[in-house]
Structure 1
């Protein structure tokens, strides 16, 4: 029994005198663009810490560790990673067992797991590091609503809703309103998954207004769309109407072209002068008392009667 007591006492003494590093909270929220001080404290088995290093790192999802800064005590010197230059500052006091860090100008790249690691010379047993989550808060951007599929009777369609940014990742909810702008339950067999609303076997009753809300712990944003479900026959009727309209247009153009050709042909007919033949001239002389045997016309008679104009006839071959 005495041996057991000694073992327990030794274990308590061991853990009491070993190093322990602690970050008080499991996560810290900070708005994008703001500054944050992440606290980190330690307890050492040594009465006085003479030599130590404090390492702050960011751990990615695949476990890769990237340095933020390294602080050296008692030199009070600091090494800072390039991406944290002019942004990260050691904000601790080693004489008071404080090893905090301050990071300014927070961006989405800072989102993730942050680790504080304290290495004290001659005090390496125990918990030498602790981690926390840094959550960069970004309000959801206005989502975009869109439709996939044919909004026809009996078809399945999907309504999509997505914000380009938001941290933490936004959650999406859909609401439905009738054509009279009254809220109603979503149709049966409807499913929602990360902003995608699937509507099964749609009908005229599915038509209406659909509103999507994208929200996280900061605020929310919305988009909406009107969905009109129509029979498949409307596509056929529309196509037939367009064909009929095109055929009618061709017929009208043909009629106009035909009329223009006929009119142009009629306008091409011109008239020309034709001289009377010899028989007509002989007849005219007989009526004036002249005989066909007069070889030389009376000069005065010709001067007293003006020459007769020949009749007009359509232009053509002169016989």
Structure 2
């Protein structure tokens, strides 16, 4: 049995996250572990924890039969974890405890021009986890019928491919593998194409896989345009830096209704982050002090251990 770990608060957007997780749990199938964290205050007593767990149970029972058929709703197994503390403190230990195969959480855009990435944000939490993180935007979403996997396949670690192959049962849809390169990298087209082909050969995926080598200076904007042309409803990314990950969830993209903010984004776990900083748009580039700083994990992976 697979396990989905779903951190929830009591906002309206949390219902959309749980509804999407329910659909995945039926398809895969998987057990759903619901995690709700209460910041440490003197008021967090056993009675408070019990009350919050009951609220989660009520939400589950309501959505179980509103969004799914009665037969499918009965098939899902739920467990509840209501804990004192912050999500940043509890998510990683809980993912290890329940051996989560996938974390499903909501999308919380950040103003990357004026604030660092909050510790509770998906971009920060994804760095702490060894399992993939599926970030689901608000709104009712159907399960993917077309998937785009955008990455730098020339430096992609093989373990990424194995971890993605493990999710094939959850997302049995045709996949488009796309490698973007800048005009200055035209002499590297052949090795990039070979790396792309090698990744496709290693990926265990039931549905057809198509390879694309696309020239575009702006990787994120290029991915948006490519996803729109393909009518993709799931984007998979394997970021190579903390800044590259954070830029996907910036408010500047949300305000312009960028395509990737309208569909779920699956973040493969980080291996070998580099310390480079990146701006996500021209506006952010004018505020260099706001670029995402390297995390402790990022620095750890840059140390040349012998």
Task: Flag the structure with more relative contact order, 1 or 2, with Cα contacts below 8 A and sequence separation at least 6.
Answer: 2
Please indicate the TM-score interval, normalised by the length of the shorter structure. under 0.3
* Max Rg structure: 1
Q: Give the TM-score normalised by the residue count of structure 1.
A: 0.18
Query: Which structure carries more helix by proportion?
Result: 2
TM-score after normalising by structure 2: 0.18
